[in-house]
Amino acid sequence: MIQVINIPAFADNYIWLITNEERKFGVIVDPGDAEPVLAELAQRQIEPLALLITHHHRDHVGGIAKLLEVYPHLMVYGPAHETIPHRTHPLQDGDTVELAELKASFQVLDVSGHTAGHIAYYGEESLFCGDTIFGCGCGRVFDGSLDQLHAALQRLAKLPASTLVYCAHEYTIDNIGFAKWVEPDNQDLDLRLEECWQLREAGRATVPFSLGNEFITNPFLRTHIPEVIAKAEKVAGRELQTQAEIFATLRIWKDTEYD
């Protein structure tokens, strides 16, 4: 069984340190900043084996060079179709990352959309998804496309509801605000907001969360729900024919009116 340690960085980023019960070795996901990672490794006396990178944005790759100065043996896994500094293992959809020292493995999923070559790592009942899906939300589209991001979310929605989602930002409470615009009568959102405030007031993260919780609260995974469809059509001012159109309407609405 893996164990995952949360390393906060910048204003709202999370870097993930994957280890196991022995806590002798570890793998780092999306080290945007090396300093907090180095401090955590030293404090816990964990030997890092590799870096798992989801996409090319600076707040996910900015710490790679410094970590390699201290640990030059590190393997750097990252998307094959993006420019990742010091990458040693280019990955694409369907590849597998074997972590023998942790007795764990992860399947690589193409989840392009936020960026054109974004990947996620799925295994051990866990999903490390970078900026593709957040608590009650999803990433903006930068050099990918809305259609790609919708397809990525639909793919993630096919994973088991028990999957723990490790995204890269603490956005849940803010995202719930937008989700309430979409579904003001969704009582699951009210319950989740209360739970999230309790976590934050206790100094804890709202991440990870179960994928099942997203199915009942994340509007970007609920484009088949009549209330969500009705709201999207009201915003668009016309009938929408596909879930992809509904998704795009919600994402653009959030970009232009809420954020």
- 73 is known as an active-site residue: no
Nearest to 13 by CA among 107, 134, 106, 118: 134
Q: How far is residue 141's CA from residue 120's CA, in Å, rounded to a whole number?
A: 16
Nearest to 59 by CA among 104, 101, 114, 137: 114
Choice among 81, 110, 131, 150 that is catalytic: 131
Asked if residue 60 belongs to a known ligand binding site, the reply is yes
* Chain centroid offset of residue 211 CA: 11
Choice among 30, 33, 56, 60 that is catalytic: 60
Q: Using CA atoms in the order 214, 216, 222, 227, what is the torsion angle rounded to 10 degrees?
A: -150
Q: How many residues does the chain have?
A: 259
| Contacting residues for 256 by C-beta, under 8 A, at least 6 apart | none
Asked if residue 56 belongs to a known ligand binding site, the reply is no
- 150 is known as an active-site residue: no
Q: Is the peptide bond before 85 cis (omega within 30 degrees of 0)?
A: no
- 114 is known as an active-site residue: yes
Asked if residue 59 belongs to a known ligand binding site, the reply is yes
Place of tokens 């993006």: 82
Q: Using CA atoms in the order 237, 240, 245, 250, what is the torsion angle rounded to 10 degrees?
A: 40
Asked if residue 55 belongs to a known ligand binding site, the reply is yes
Choice among 59, 81, 118, 150 that is catalytic: 59
- 57 is known as an active-site residue: yes
- 131 is known as an active-site residue: yes
45: left (phi over 0), alpha (psi -120 to 50) or beta: left
Place of tokens 């409470």: 173
- 60 is known as an active-site residue: yes
Choice among 30, 33, 56, 57 that is catalytic: 57
Asked if residue 150 belongs to a known ligand binding site, the reply is no
If you ran DSSP here, which 8-state letter would residue 205 be given?
A: -
Choice among 56, 81, 114, 150 that is catalytic: 114
Is 236 within 8 Å of 249 (Cβ atoms)? yes
Query: Quick one: which H or E segment has residue 5?
Result: strand 2-9
- 81 is known as an active-site residue: no
Choice among 56, 81, 150, 169 that is catalytic: 169
Q: Detail the residues annotated as belonging to a binding site.
A: 55, 57, 59-60, 114, 131, 169
Catalytic residue annotation? 55, 57, 59-60, 114, 131, 169
Q: Detail the residues annotated as belonging to a binding site for Zn(2+).
A: 55, 57, 59-60, 114, 131, 169
